[in-house]
Amino acid sequence: MPKHQSAGASGSTLLGIEERRARTGGGSTAVDRWLTRKILTESGDPPLVIELWDGTRFEPAHASGAAPEPVARVEIRDRRTLYGLLVNTDVAFGDAVSADRIRIHGDLVTFLETIYRSTDDAVPRDSWKRRFKAWLNRPRRNTRAGSQSNIHHHYDLGNDFYRLWLDEEMVYTCAYYPHENATLEEAQRAKMDHVCRKLELRPGQWAVEAGCGWGSLAIHMGREYGVHVRAFNISHEQILYARERAAALGLEGQVEFVEADYRTVEGEYDVFVSVGMLEHVGVDNYRTLGEVAARSLKPDGRGLIHSIGRNAPAPNNPWIERRIFPGSYPPSLAEMSTIFEPQELSVLDVENLRLHYARTCRAWLDRFDAAVDRVEAMYDSDFVRAWRLYLSGSVAAFTTGSLQLFQVVFAPGTSNAVPMTREHMYPRN
Amino acid sequence: MPKHQSAGASGSTLLGIEERRARTGGGSTAVDRWLTRKILTESGDPPLVIELWDGTRFEPAHASGAAPEPVARVEIRDRRTLYGLLVNTDVAFGDAVSADRIRIHGDLVTFLETIYRSTDDAVPRDSWKRRFKAWLNRPRRNTRAGSQSNIHHHYDLGNDFYRLWLDEEMVYTCAYYPHENATLEEAQRAKMDHVCRKLELRPGQWAVEAGCGWGSLAIHMGREYGVHVRAFNISHEQILYARERAAALGLEGQVEFVEADYRTVEGEYDVFVSVGMLEHVGVDNYRTLGEVAARSLKPDGRGLIHSIGRNAPAPNNPWIERRIFPGSYPPSLAEMSTIFEPQELSVLDVENLRLHYARTCRAWLDRFDAAVDRVEAMYDSDFVRAWRLYLSGSVAAFTTGSLQLFQVVFAPGTSNAVPMTREHMYPRN
């Protein structure tokens, strides 16, 4: 197990530290250094260099003496920030990075992956280590009220902002990379086709979509598969955008965008589809969502729900909950089953696309970084740092397996209009 | 809603009934007829003719007057049998059919499908209707002790018996029909290849199999994919058969059959596979099974569990539990998730092969019927009737959606050695 040595504790560097103390206002104390070592130990001694505001450094070292190569240097720039990590780790870390009071020198994704992996061993439920991991466990906590304001917070930041780093069709959910060299644009189209094939869409059928984002899937289903679509969303900005796009494509009669909650869906459809909404529904509402899906499907209908998930239930991340993505929660498959089982809906197919979401988030992060000057001009540098942390943390969460992406196909339990095999999902090129 | 009319209540048939009364010893009373009507009503008034021991008939009729075509005639041959249905429906119905005290005139599968469908509407949990449906809900209840004797009861009936109606490789689990015209033999080989492709077997790798039946999959993995296999089973007769077959094929050094419980599995493997064992494990032991799977897998290993299941948890059938298949239970996906979630195993893929099991059971039933004289010579006519009921009930359960068949692929939660897509499961021909 690697141990951290405090370089600051050795006499030879003390002079340099004294100089810095004068600049930063207050040198680190023995208590500060003890707390830093404790944080490192409880984090599983990740291969990091920690540097305090006075230059005191904690470098990784094996007990055997062979020090692992550090993956990043974490600069904690004042005492208040250090103490904040102990009191309210989850929110404090994210806020400190956003406010530039903690700086990560080195690749942010690699740093976050390292933290995920070092804290991956079993640890007591209430330890600092687990709380720190909980911080990393992406956004999305369940809230019972206020879907409208939660969704507004994130999705109504402005279409111009998302246009800077999403694909041209504004798809803000996991893409599907059919081959190694696919671009984000190709992968988002491939995802929509993958979903449509799973649903076995046929021209003239009726589909209802719960949570339609900027309308890309609804438009794709209408334009490419000849389906009538009624698509629901409570984000005003997204609905306006989707309607404009449908009108420009001459699809007004075929693809309808409804600014309303999924719970208001009425009528019977051949297909019920929901891609990337479940994260915002909250486990307490899964039974209701299942009721909506069950009552919306004709006896021989098919459904698909696509959601971020987890291998096991875990607490969510209060920082992302507060600052980035209010009201969201990624469920485990057992939690998701409360959508299906009370309605005796039959689960036909589950596919885990975790590594596709890691690639998708990486593509978004790269585009975000390329557009960072324009983002900063639209907002400010705190916003940029917060979103870089959120996108980088998402890459790391999917790469390390902290988050999953589940696509679930289902049908009414009494329907025999279900495919014998999944060959149709993999057409010969 | 169809109503049943008692033909016996009309004056014109009473004379014929009187004659029969003399032959069968005691005519039906007003109470008998009231109870029969009650049973029909509580069963959702299925389109059946019920005939009592004295010839009294209950025929289906719509309230509107348009009678549905009856799918079968159910002959209840004495009063004791009718009353037995009221007191202990679950066991009494199966026992009465086995003992020829209830005769089903017409296609047994169609009769059972009709019962499934007519009782499919929501009914009170403790109603007669639900109890009757519970009877139909195939075998397999969870018992905590006595795996050895439970497994012995069913699987050690004699290899000669199973050879009469299984395929040539003695595969007693759901087959996979890649096309409409596949034979049972082809479909069982296709199932084994489907499982092997899902597991991405490579020559020289090590696989452990929990619950190997007569050894067909273990031998297939060794012979066709060059894998070393260690296969566990607690059925003495099956292990002897499997060893003989491996020896005859010159695979002794490569495919090892161990007569032991899955909980004794030791070592690390590339692959953990279990096809058709979970039904016998019992929900209380799923966590233990998950521990065994997790500790058996190398960090980049893959696992597959194949099991009969349900869309939602339901009580099991005491008749099959007592007479056919002790100690078994088909779980819902939420129940199955207790294998995976406590170990943070990552579910990669779930496929529901329900309609394949309907076809498989139908193929078994057809072969059983073709060999019925030999079965009766080995056992007796009660045994034949019991097994016809069990196999027919299985066809009906899968056709009507009362039972499902889940194949779940999983991997350690931290492994990135997982495939990006499922294309490899569907090779180009």
With 0-12 / 13-18 / 19 or more C-beta atoms within 10 angstroms meaning exposed / middle / buried, residue B370 is: exposed
Of B342, B337, B293, the C-alpha closest to B313 is B337
Question: Does residue B416 sit at the A interface (CB-CB below 8 Å)?
Answer: yes
Go through the domains of chain A in sequence order and give each one's CATH number. Answer: 2-135 (3.30.1050), 147-425 (3.40.50.150)
Q: Which helix (H) or strand (E) holds A5?
A: strand A2-6
Distance CA B161, CA B166 (A): 9
Q: In this complex, is the C-beta atom of B354 within 8 Å of any C-beta atom belonging to chain A?
A: yes
Residue B131 has pLDDT above 80, yes or no: no
Q: Residues with Cβ < 8 Å from A117, sequence gap 6 or more?
A: A46, A400, B414
Contacts of A426 in chain B (CB under 8 A): 422-423, 426
- The predicted-structure confidence for B168-212, as pLDDT tens digits, reads as follows 999 999 999 999 999 999 999 999 999 999 999 999 999 999 999
- A132 neighbors A265 (Cβ within 8 angstroms): no
Tokens linked to B91: 């066991």
Q: Does the distance separating the beta carbons of B332 and A337 come in below 8 Å? A: yes
- Min CA distance, B311 vs chain A (Å)? 5
> What does R_g of chain A's alpha carbons equal in angstroms?
24
Q: Tell me the HSE value of A174 on the side-chain side, using a 13 A CA sphere.
A: 31
DSSP string for residues in A59-74? EEEETTS-PPPPSEEE
By Cβ distance, the residue of B177, B341, B350 closest to A347 is B350
B88 touches chain A (CB under 8 A): no
* Number of Cα atoms under 13 Å in the Cβ half of residue A384: 17
Positive/negative CA dihedral, A192, A222, B425, A180 = negative
Residue pairs between chains A and B whose CB atoms are closer than 8 Å: 116
Q: Which residue has the higher pLDDT, B129 or A396?
A: A396
Q: What sections of B259-380 are H helices per DSSP?
A: 286-296, 318-323, 333-340, 354-370, 372-378
Are the C-beta atoms of B75 and B83 separated by less than 8 Å? no
Confidence at residue A18, expressed as pLDDT on a 0 to 100 scale: 58
Q: Is A211 helix (H, G, I), strand (E, B) or coil?
A: coil
Distance CA A411, CA B322 (A): 33
What pLDDT tens digit does each residue of chain A (429 aa) get? Answer: 344 544 444 444 555 555 555 545 589 999 999 999 988 887 888 999 999 999 999 998 665 566 778 999 999 999 999 999 887 777 889 999 999 999 999 999 999 999 888 865 434 444 555 555 555 544 334 333 455 656 556 666 788 999 999 999 999 999 999 999 999 999 999 999 999 999 999 999 999 999 999 999 999 999 999 999 999 999 998 999 999 999 999 999 999 999 999 999 999 999 999 999 999 999 999 999 999 999 999 999 999 999 999 999 987 777 777 778 777 789 999 999 999 999 999 999 999 999 999 999 999 999 999 999 999 999 999 999 999 999 999 999 999 999 999 999 999 999 999 999 999 999 975
CA gap A379, B276 in Å, rounded? 58
The closest of A299, A318, A250 to A88, measured between CA atoms, is A318
User: Phi/psi at A220 (nearest 5 deg)?
Assistant: -65, -45
Number of neighbouring beta carbons within 10 Å of residue B170: 18
Q: Can you tell me the ipTM of this complex?
A: 0.90
Q: Do B422 and A423 touch (CB under 8 A)?
A: no
**φ and ψ at A232, to 5 degrees?**
-110, 145
- What does the block give as tokens for B349? 């893929």
Kindly state the tokens that stand for B60. 């289906």
Whether B117 and chain A come into contact, CB under 8 Å, resolves to yes
A160 touching chain B per CB within 8 A? no
- Rounded distance between C-alpha atoms, residue B235 and residue B189, angstroms: 23
Q: Find, among B105, B165, B172, B106, the residue nearest to B139 by Cα.
A: B172
C-beta atoms surrounding B158 within 10 Å: 12
B344 touches chain A (CB under 8 A): yes
Taking a C-beta distance cutoff of 8 angstroms, is the pair A219, A249 a contact?
yes
